[in-house]
Chain A
Amino acid sequence: MLIYIIRRLMWAALTIFGVMVLTFLLFRVSAGDIAGAVLGEKAAEAQKATWRHKFGYDLPWLINVHRNLLIISKVGGDKPLWAKDTGSSRARQGWSLVLDAPPGENYPPNTVLMSGYIRGLDESTSIHALGSGGPSATNEDPTGSISFGLGDGSTLDVPVDGVKTIGDLMQRINGHAANNGRLEARITSLSVAGAFNSQFFRHLKTSLLFEGESLKHSGQSLKSIIAKHGKYSLAVQIPAVAIQWFIGMILALFVAYYRGRWPDKIGVFMSVLGMCVPFLAFMIYGQALMFHLGLPQHAAGTIYRGNLYVPVAIMVIASLGGHVRFYRTIILDETGRDYVRTAQAKGLPLTTILFKHVLKNCMLPILTSLILAIPFLIMGSLLVENFFGIPGLGDRMITSINDRDEPIMNGLVFLTAVIYTAGILLTDLCYAVFDPRIRLK
């Protein structure tokens, strides 16, 4: 049994990993350039590159076997190192040198300028490899000069006319007459730890630790969003699931009792009808009913807590058909078993059999089906929240998809996946514990 549990845990971990790969491909890779969407398209390319670097969107996709050109200020002082184009130089724009100390190296912040991540960068690489590839990247040879401003307020003007390779640039800087060891240009070396500094691994880390931060609404972390909006989703879904189960069970028991006779036939018929009406129709007509009854303020919004019962009621009614059918199937499967026939033959009334024996045996599959419904508790039903103006996580997920708020989108989807996997794990464990057939395998 222990082996069974361990196997299930490993499977769960692999599934979570699979989800992270999926979300990576779906949200990150297909999203393309987010910088433009967030900063506005007309932001300068240099600003976009800085932004991308800050949030790690310029890292290599899978493995970081790339190198950077570093320009390091050896001078103390509290001003950050920065570079400015002078003359007709468009180096700063085209090369997108960004400000940040590379991870793993112990430089004081703001003393390092770093180029993008380039594979196989060495002194003979063409200078154009430094281009960010953005619309203002240029294939012209640089002219003019770059002025570096150092921490102590001094500057170093480096002419870049005729620079053709990275080596040339490094030479211009390191060999500059007025340098005096203030500024050093060099190329990073590869390291094992550094290999993991890629978008994919960062994605793994951010997902697992729920670290995301909203791109659109600065300052809102994923955790705070979940805390703030999760309770609205729960406030709708928990009553819905509880009442669905309760009423579903009652009706299913009733219908199963009269199996084959007309209450059963009508019950099944109504259930099937209910399953076939599109959910949207329930919502639309339900809301129209609210208006018709003269209760518009209960048709949407959370201005009164009681308003939430409207979507709850609609959800219960909409799903009742499916639930009744499902529970009925399970109950009837049980009542078809030998021991029930024996008990009936022995003279026990059907009601007693149902409520004393059958129900117990049915609980396992029924409860496990409820557990499997839990992820949707948190996500809320996207449609319901969107339609009724409930600020829950489901609604938040839709808005984050619309806003292209990738970290939040990612975080919420990952959350659902984790909860769902945990749910399956839990149901498997329940079966392992309560179903002797599994235990003895």
Chain B
Amino acid sequence: MKYFYIISVLVVAGLSAAPFILLDEENFAGGDDGKVVVYSTYAAKVDSLDPATCGDTTSAMIQGNIYDGLYGYDYLLRPSTVEPVLADGMPHRSPDRLVYTIKLKKGVRYAPNKCFGVGPDGRPLTREVVAEDFVLAFKRIADYHITTRLTLALIEDKIAGIQEYRDRTRAYRQGDFSRYDVVPLAGVEAVDSHTLRFTLTTPFPQFIYVLAMSSYAPIPREVLDYYLTSEPDGKGGRRAVDVSQRRAVISAGDFEAAVGTGPYRLSEFVSGGNIVLTRNEAYREEYYPSPPDLATLDERHRQSVQQAIDEGLYNDAGKRIPFIDTNYMQFIQEDTTAWGLFTAGRTDVSGIPSQMFNTAVTPTAEISGAFRAKGIRLEKYGSPAIYWLAFNVDDPLLSNKSLRQALSLSFDVDRYVDVLFNGRGRRAVNIIPSDMPEFADMPVSRYARYDPQAAMEKMKQARAELEAAGLVAPGEKIKLTLDLGGRENMQRRMGEMARYYFGRLGVDLHVELNDWPTLQEKVHNKRAQIYSMGWHSDYPDPENFLQLFYSPNIMRGTNNTNYSNKLFDQLYEQIATMDPGPERTAIYARMVEMINEDCPQLLLTEPVSFVLMHPWVRNYRPHPIGYGTFKYRRVDQELRKAAGGM
């Protein structure tokens, strides 16, 4: 019997050591081989490593560091300004504005990768980027067999030959990549190895912004031939995949296929796990931007440059980038955990969870004493995004304009921002974000304010109209449903606030908490009445927000209020081909006023983010729409070690 006890104790001890037996050491602690290493967290799973299928901000954030597009945005200039990245200079536009000719920089090479072959020393090779690679990228986006999210929608009706290409590639099997060789894409041609020509079907002033997205990065044919025609065999090698089984898209399980020209490459990728970005050894010579001559800038740009200079953001001007060798990214969804890592000095930059807000920030929105003592800095920046509660204007009740206006007036958005976001947001006054260049000329909505009195009066009017139409019985409460996307505490509280404010108007509001796919399904099938929506600008042009109300976009999905107004559509078609200028801005203003009056949405907020960073962080300035800005950041490793960080 004695043996029983000894054995059982040993067994228990052995089993208790399971974590160390089953799991590999996370080599996160380290970075002392002279390399500059940074640790960070990310909170949403990366859906896509393939530029063609990129459609969410987390994927864009990762991809932006791996892939480069033809153009990008200047890191420090605000409002956002386009600059050439892989292109050699700005595009040459034909007089009819339909043909864009772009020259490529010479000597830009991909990150070394096995798909290009292996050299005599066993190390992977690389090659220079040529125009054909861009053609392939656009062909894949137009490919029938690839389900894109945003990348096709932006160019679908704009570049010549896209629809034809789509139709013709339907005749090919998914795994038959000869369609990229044989079928031409009329609107994208490689004139020579370093010259690209785009032919548009209609003038498209925002085309330069589209080209500034890393989703239109060049794709080397070798990636398809090496990675998509084979799969890992589990023993470190690869085995061929039959044509009928091949996928057309780079999958997250085969991360080495993410071959780009960017400053970093993936050395590790686990979906919902660790992501490691490592320096691309073959990265071309790029330098930290120098401040432009202030005299050549307009007022807003000049202010942004001056501010950047004052904050020391130009101190590294002229130095070669990237500074940081490795970024270890850990998947942490709980924001208090991410916060804990930050306060322990294990990550460099962090947002502030709302419950910790008061410990970090004073009531006057300055960094709190305790944090300032540790040298932590606070940076606030706005995102060019707007969140709102959309009204389904096709719904019998909500088709009534007075009702929508009444609801709009009844909700105290400032209180909402205060209570749920600790004041980190600005009330949106119309559907154009405030940092767009044309914002100053856009009219403010009369209904984007909190006025319970006016709301009650509008409501009386609405009731009268609805009763007259027989939709509501006299004295009967108006029943509406609010669908929110997400089942977190935040959504629940928002729902309770909405019930409270709408309840004061005599509305019986039922709130449904949905997960994201269910909400989209409801909206698409027009089964939702009121639902939370938002839009983050894809490029610095108000047109990006006005297209949300263009009626053909109802089918396309971006117009999810079902708003349909013939005059608005006509104006939209007009501005779609106009270059920026006072004439266009005037029409913008008219369109914005129409939306203001018709109120297809209850405007909520423009988010403002508060970011904390440790004193050893340098050159950090979040970019509103650009991704791939990690290459500019620097950390003072000595300072970090001295302060007890990693």
Tell me if chains A and B make direct contact, with any CB pair below 8 A. Answer: yes
| A interface residue numbers (CB < 8 A to B) | 36-37, 39-43, 47, 78-80, 82, 84, 109-110, 135, 149, 217-220, 224, 231-232, 234-236, 238-239, 241-243, 245-246, 291, 296-297, 299-306, 308-309, 312, 355-356, 359-360, 387, 389, 391, 399, 402-404
In the complex, are the beta carbons of B19 and A245 less than 8 A apart? no
A37 touching B517 in the complex, CB below 8 Å, given contacts A220-B253, A239-B18, A308-B19: yes
Task: A224 to B253: give the CA distance in the assembly, Å.
Answer: 11
**Which of A109, A220, A231, A239 is in CB contact (< 8 Å) with B15?**
A239
Nearest CB on A from B521, distance (A): 6
| B interface residue numbers (CB < 8 A to A) | 1, 4, 8-9, 11-12, 15-20, 22-23, 25-26, 28, 147, 149, 167, 170-173, 176, 244, 247, 249, 251-254, 271-273, 330-334, 336-337, 339-341, 343-344, 346, 515, 517, 520-521, 523-525, 555-557
The 21 listed contacts between A and B (C-beta, < 8 Å) are: A37-B521, A39-B147, A42-B557, A47-B147, A135-B525, A219-B247, A219-B253, A231-B23, A238-B18, A242-B12, A297-B341, A300-B334, A300-B340, A302-B23, A302-B26, A303-B26, A309-B19, A356-B1, A360-B1, A391-B331, A402-B515
A304 touching B26 in the complex, CB below 8 Å, given contacts A296-B341, A297-B346: yes
- The residues of B that contact A389 with a CB separation of less than 8 Å are 331-334, 337
Nearest CB on A from B554, distance (A): 10
Task: List 20 additional A-B contacts (Cβ < 8 Å) besides A79-B172, A224-B253, A404-B517.
Answer: A37-B517, A37-B521, A40-B520, A78-B176, A80-B171, A217-B253, A217-B271, A236-B19, A239-B19, A245-B12, A291-B336, A296-B340, A296-B341, A300-B340, A301-B330, A301-B337, A303-B28, A304-B26, A359-B1, A403-B517
Task: A291 to B340: give the CA distance in the assembly, Å.
Answer: 8
In the complex, are the beta carbons of B244 and A109 less than 8 A apart? yes
In the complex, are the beta carbons of B173 and A110 less than 8 A apart? yes
Task: A232 to B272: give the CA distance in the assembly, Å.
Answer: 13
- The residues of A that contact B4 with a CB separation of less than 8 Å are 359
In the complex, are the beta carbons of B251 and A80 less than 8 A apart? no
Task: A302 to B28: give the CA distance in the assembly, Å.
Answer: 11
- Name the residue on A nearest B144 (C-beta): A47
Task: A242 to B557: give the CA distance in the assembly, Å.
Answer: 53
Nearest CB on B from A183, distance (A): 15
In the complex, are the beta carbons of B254 and A305 less than 8 A apart? no
Nearest CB on A from B490, distance (A): 16
A239 touching B17 in the complex, CB below 8 Å, given contacts A217-B252, A303-B28, A355-B1: yes
- Name the residue on A nearest B46 (C-beta): A217
**Which of B1, B244, B330 is in CB contact (< 8 Å) with A303?**
B330
In the complex, are the beta carbons of B167 and A84 less than 8 A apart? yes
**Which of B170, B176, B341 is in CB contact (< 8 Å) with A82?**
B170
In the complex, are the beta carbons of A235 and B19 less than 8 A apart? yes
**Which of B15, B171, B334 is in CB contact (< 8 Å) with A242?**
B15
Task: A412 to B331: give the CA distance in the assembly, Å.
Answer: 22
In the complex, are the beta carbons of B273 and A239 less than 8 A apart? no
A42 touching B524 in the complex, CB below 8 Å, given contacts A303-B26, A304-B26: yes
A41 touching B273 in the complex, CB below 8 Å, given contacts A242-B16, A404-B517: no
Task: A306 to B16: give the CA distance in the assembly, Å.
Answer: 11
- Name the residue on A nearest B148 (C-beta): A40
Tally inter-chain residue pairs, CB-CB below 8 A.
141
**Which of B19, B253, B334, B521 is in CB contact (< 8 Å) with A305?**
B19
- The residues of B that contact A42 with a CB separation of less than 8 Å are 524, 555-557
Task: A79 to B168: give the CA distance in the assembly, Å.
Answer: 11
Nearest CB on B from A387, distance (A): 8
In the complex, are the beta carbons of B524 and A219 less than 8 A apart? no
- Name the residue on B nearest A80 (C-beta): B173
- The residues of B that contact A304 with a CB separation of less than 8 Å are 26
- The residues of B that contact A356 with a CB separation of less than 8 Å are 1
**Which of B147, B273, B339, B525 is in CB contact (< 8 Å) with A40?**
B147
- The residues of B that contact A243 with a CB separation of less than 8 Å are 12, 16
- The residues of A that contact B170 with a CB separation of less than 8 Å are 82, 84
A41 touching B337 in the complex, CB below 8 Å, given contacts A219-B251, A235-B18, A297-B344: no
In the complex, are the beta carbons of A301 and B332 less than 8 A apart? yes
Nearest CB on B from A122, distance (A): 30
- The residues of A that contact B523 with a CB separation of less than 8 Å are 41
In the complex, are the beta carbons of A79 and B340 less than 8 A apart? no
- Name the residue on B nearest A288 (C-beta): B336
In the complex, are the beta carbons of B273 and A391 less than 8 A apart? yes
Task: A197 to B333: give the CA distance in the assembly, Å.
Answer: 42
In the complex, are the beta carbons of A239 and B23 less than 8 A apart? no
In the complex, are the beta carbons of A82 and B171 less than 8 A apart? yes
**Which of A41, A246, A312 is in CB contact (< 8 Å) with B521?**
A41
- The residues of A that contact B333 with a CB separation of less than 8 Å are 389
In the complex, are the beta carbons of B337 and A300 less than 8 A apart? yes
In the complex, are the beta carbons of A41 and B334 less than 8 A apart? no
Task: A402 to B330: give the CA distance in the assembly, Å.
Answer: 22
- The residues of B that contact A306 with a CB separation of less than 8 Å are 19
Task: A84 to B244: give the CA distance in the assembly, Å.
Answer: 21
Task: A404 to B11: give the CA distance in the assembly, Å.
Answer: 40
In the complex, are the beta carbons of A218 and B247 less than 8 A apart? yes
In the complex, are the beta carbons of B334 and A235 less than 8 A apart? no
Nearest CB on A from B559, distance (A): 11
- The residues of A that contact B253 with a CB separation of less than 8 Å are 217, 219-220, 224
- Name the residue on A nearest B340 (C-beta): A296
In the complex, are the beta carbons of A296 and B173 less than 8 A apart? no
Nearest CB on A from B570, distance (A): 24
Task: A217 to B250: give the CA distance in the assembly, Å.
Answer: 11
- The residues of B that contact A82 with a CB separation of less than 8 Å are 170-171
Task: A258 to B512: give the CA distance in the assembly, Å.
Answer: 55
- The residues of B that contact A234 with a CB separation of less than 8 Å are 18, 22
- The residues of A that contact B517 with a CB separation of less than 8 Å are 37, 403-404
Task: A359 to B173: give the CA distance in the assembly, Å.
Answer: 68
Task: A306 to B26: give the CA distance in the assembly, Å.
Answer: 11
In the complex, are the beta carbons of B172 and A80 less than 8 A apart? yes
